[in-house]
Amino acid sequence: MEQALVNLEVFSATLLELARADSNLLVVTSDSRGSAKLAPFAKAAPGQIVEVGIAEQNLVGVAAGLAAAGKTVFAVSPACFLTARSLEQIKNDLCYSDRPVKAVGISAGVSYGALGTTHHSLHDYAVLRAIHNLAIVAPADNFETREAVRAAARLPMPVYLRFGKKRMPHLPRMEPDFALGRASRIREGTDLSFLACGETVAPAFEAAGLLAKEGIQCRVLSVHTLKPLDVAAVRQAATETGGVITVEEHSINGGLGEACAALMLQEGLFARFKITGFPDDHTVTGSQEELFRHYGLDGPGLAATARQLLAKR
């Protein structure tokens, strides 16, 4: 697969394109412009970036105020801090008060690798899914990043955008267009479906390639929008293919997997089903790549899980 850019570089370039067209657009950072790849933005549009220092609660509160005064606001901070320390500001100042700020969690999941659990965000989908009036979006590749940032800017409601920091491959896609709330079909197959999001779509696609060599044809979906969930896509995966494996760089509790499980169970769709992600345990030390391998979230690991699931009667 062709290696493209880190999604955050595309995020930053897209924001700059939007900022040039709309002087009302602002980016707010908490000493995070470097890690967010926003240095070029800050240089090109210095009047459209606001720094609040290492103060994530303040970041979200100030962003809410800027939005209240009519600004289109992207508030950017590492996902681990943004969705934990300032969770109450997201809940009250953005979602409850209906301020359509785009909260951007960078270096999400285990992107920070060996920096450890303080810097991991394996809880963010779970806590944010339970908050009303928030769209949750984790783009898989550069294309989805660009489209998601544009769509989020237009969406008149709060959005959580989640980005990792790995250089992402260009993924193929069956449909040329992108819409929030509609999963992107990356590969077609009927033996099994991988429903993945964010930086786990690429390894799911890799797993599908490995399985194809064994004659197992998998559907791969990028479920970039966790909320609102693409109900039709999940339903089809459960009914049209031989089983569903969800893949997320998140705790197995409360994320994409449980969202799909709840939907399928309540609709009476009893497909073979497996949630993959990070177990409810202390995370071992390692880089993102090592952790993906350790927890079976790399291509070979996901392929092994698929074989096990298909072996079940």
Partner 1 sequence: MLTERDLKLKSAQYRKDLLRLIKACGTGHTGGDLSCLDILNVLYNRVLRVSPETFKSQDRDYYIQSKGHCAEALFVVLADRGFFPAKDLETLNRYGSHYLGHPTRDVNGVEQNTGALGHGLAVAVGIALAGKMDRKDYRVFTLLGDGELAEGSNWEAAMTAAHYRLDNLVAIVDRNGLQITGSTEDVCQLSPLDEKFKAFGFAVQRCDGNDVGDLVRTLEAVPFRPGKPSLVLARTRKGKGVSFMENVAKWHHGVPNDEEFSRAMAELEAAEAAIA
Which parts of this chain interact with partner 1 (CB under 8 A)?
Answer: 47, 50, 52-53, 55, 57-58, 60-71, 88-89, 92-93, 96-98
Minimum CB separation of residue 150 from partner 1 in Å reads 23
CB of 52 to partner 1, least distance (A): 5
The residue assigned the tokens 């090592």 is 290
Minimum distance, C-beta of residue 93 to partner 1, in the bound complex (Å): 6
- Give the nearest distance from C-beta 56 to partner 1 in angstroms: 9
Q: Kindly tell me which of 71 and 123 has the beta carbon lying closer to partner 1.
A: 71
Q: Which is nearer to partner 1, 21 or 232 (CB)?
A: 21
Residue 237 in tokens: 């995966």
Helices (DSSP H) in the chain: which residue ranges? 7-21, 39-44, 56-68, 79-82, 87-88, 124-129, 142-154, 201-212, 231-240, 256-266, 288-294, 299-311
Give the shortest CB-45-to-partner 1 separation in angstroms: 13
β partners of residue 244: 193, 273
Judged by beta carbon, residue 65 or residue 296, the one nearer partner 1 is 65
Closest CB to partner 1 among residues 24, 117: 24
Long-range contacts of residues 65-69, Cβ cutoff 8 Å, at least 24 apart? 66/26, 66/28, 66/101, 67/94, 67/99, 67/100, 67/101, 68/97, 68/99
Q: How far is the CB of 74 from partner 1 (least distance, A)?
A: 13
In the complex with partner 1, the residue whose CB is nearer, 62 or 152, is 62
What whole-number distance in Å separates Cα of residue 292 and Cα of residue 274?
A: 16
Least distance (Å) between residue 27 CB and partner 1: 13
For partner 1, the closer of residues 48 and 142 by Cβ is: 48
Q: How far apart are CA 36 and CA 33, in angstroms?
A: 5
DSSP state of 220: E
Residue with tokens 């996901």: 302
The token pair that represents 170 in the structure block: 């260009």
- Least distance between partner 1 and beta carbon 153 (Å): 17
DSSP state, residue 163: -
Measure CA 202 to chain center. 13
Q: How many Cβ atoms from other residues are within 10 Å of residue 244's Cβ?
A: 25
CA dihedral over 276, 281, 287, 288, signed as positive or negative: positive
Residue pair 164/149 in contact by the 8 Å Cβ criterion:
no
Cβ 180 to partner 1, closest distance in Å? 24
CB closer to partner 1 out of 62 and 256? 62
Please identify, using beta-carbon distances, which residue of 89 and 107 lies nearer to partner 1.
Answer: 89
Looking at beta carbons only, is 98 or 214 nearer to partner 1?
98
Element (H, E) at 28: strand 25-29
